[in-house]
Amino acid sequence: MKKASRPKARKRPSKARPAALPEGNLRVIYSAGQLQKRVRELAAQVNRDYQGKTLHVVGILENCFLFMADLVRNLKMPVICHFIKAEVHDSSAGTLAVREIMYTPKVDASGRDILLVDGILQSGVTLDHLVRYILGQKPSSVRVAALIEKAEEKKVDVRTEYLGFRTTAKFLVGYGLGLQEKYRNLPYVAQIIPRQEARAAA
């Protein structure tokens, strides 16, 4: 008479690294928990500064969308959300290079409290242009919130009243940041590691 075989124990999933890591070429810089904690801290600052006011939050696409969504859900005052996209056109006038930056759709900032939200601040050129454009409409106030600032890459000294993190890491993706429109859905921010470096570290 054959003995009944015992059912095989199920293997527990490994917790060594996030399951979403594609081919092991991402290094997590800011975990989902770190991001959510920092967003709550920034929201607390915004709540204190704009208590009793209506705040117009203007998200700069596409990098802002997850950061802005989590930020506004933690705000206590009335919030009106807007989204704009920067369109850069390069041309030349003789030997002079000309760059034109336009924002669509247009946002009416006159007499309003404006909070500009971006996912990542690098050179600062486009954001500085946007701040000047908003100021030209005579808002009640205009401030900037950025999730990540790359201080070493800044060419323009744009002031960020609400800043999540400063980093020197390159090729960041996740939490709204993308590469060729991929990885924006990741719940953390990670650095893409070149394949040759990933193989050398293995």
Predicted confidence band of residue 15 (pLDDT cuts 50, 70, 90): very low
The pLDDT score that the predictor gives to residue 3 is 53
pLDDT tens track for 64-80: 999 999 999 999 999 99
pLDDT at 92 over 90: no
β-bridge mates for residue 120, sequence order: 148
3-state secondary structure (DSSP) of residue 131: helix
3-state secondary structure (DSSP) of residue 132: helix
Task: Supply the CATH classification number for the domain 33-90+99-168.
Answer: 3.40.50.2020
The pLDDT score that the predictor gives to residue 138 is 97
β-bridge mates for residue 172, sequence order: 191
CB distance 54 to 80 below 8 Å: yes
pLDDT tens track for 103-129: 888 899 999 999 999 999 999 988 999
Nearest in space to 116 (alpha carbons), one of 88, 146, 137? 146
3-state secondary structure (DSSP) of residue 138: coil
Predicted TM-score (pTM) of this structure: 0.80
Tell me the C-alpha to C-alpha distance, in Å, between residue 77 and each of 49, 63, 104: 10, 24, 26
pLDDT tens track for 19-28: 444 444 899 9
Taking the domains of the chain in order of start, what are their residue ranges? 33-90+99-168
For the chain, first and last CA: distance in Å?
Answer: 50
Q: Across all residues in the chain, what is the average pLDDT?
A: 86
